[in-house]
């Protein structure tokens, strides 16, 4: 039997997804849900700080992240996107925009892998397409800002 070692941040992202899912389905406060996750999952201190930051940003900027997704849907409505896919996108967009120490390509790749594991067969391609478009928009906005700063 082969044992596959999973990177602590992957486990952290999966924990955040579980926490976001619990938040959607319960009336519990985010602090309680995060506390419950830490009780159930084996997370070291460094990964715990990452989980806390990613979860809190994902909750704080949920509406903004959903707007980013909506802006990149073609002939589709956000309400029709599967809950797990929405949560994976919310988490990844929060990571791309608000966790500066992680390369966006890593965030996108991780979201795709998590979609493969937790969602439908089509989800990884969908998540990839949306996150690629969101990231390109972010790059374009940054380029525009640089251009304006030079003027």
Q: What confidence score (pLDDT) does residue 146 get?
A: 86
Q: What confidence score (pLDDT) does residue 1 get?
A: 59
Q: What confidence score (pLDDT) does residue 150 get?
A: 79
Number of domains composing the chain: 1
Find the domain containing 84 and state its range.
8-150
Mean confidence (pLDDT) of the chain: 93
Q: What confidence score (pLDDT) does residue 45 get?
A: 94
Identify the CA nearest to 20 among candidates 65, 56, 68, 64: 56
| Residue 3 placed within a domain | no
CA 125 to chain centre: 15
Distance of alpha carbon 20 from alpha carbon 55, whole angstroms: 7
Which stretches in the chain have pLDDT values below 50?
Answer: none
- Cβ atoms 23, 30 nearer than 8 A: yes
Q: What confidence score (pLDDT) does residue 27 get?
A: 85
- Cβ atoms 115, 88 nearer than 8 A: yes
End-to-end CA distance of the chain: 61
Q: What confidence score (pLDDT) does residue 116 get?
A: 96
Over the stretch 119-134, which tens digit does the pLDDT of each residue have?
999 999 999 999 999 9
| Residue 2 placed within a domain | no
Identify the CA nearest to 51 among candidates 20, 82, 76, 96: 20
Q: What is the CATH number of the domain that holds 31?
A: 1.10.940.10
| Residue 58 placed within a domain | yes
């Amino acid at each position: 039997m082969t044992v596959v070692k999973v990177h602590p941040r992957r486990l952290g992202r999966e924990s955040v997804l579980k926490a976001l899912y619990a938040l959607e389905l319960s009336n519990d406060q985010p602090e309680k849900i995060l506390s419950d996750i830490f009780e159930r999952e084996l997370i070291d201190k460094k990964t715990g700080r990452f989980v806390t930051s990613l979860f809190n940003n994902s909750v704080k900027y949920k509406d903004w992240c959903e707007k980013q997704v909506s802006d990149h849907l073609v002939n589709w409505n956000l309400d029709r996107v599967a809950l797990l896919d929405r949560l994976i996108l919310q988490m990844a967009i929060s990571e791309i925009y608000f966790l500066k120490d992680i390369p966006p390509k890593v965030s996108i790749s991780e979201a795709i892998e998590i979609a493969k594991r937790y969602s439908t067969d089509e989800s990884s391609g969908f998540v990839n397409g949306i996150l690629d478009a969101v990231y390109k928009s972010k790059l374009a906005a940054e380029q525009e800002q640089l251009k304006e700063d030079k003027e």
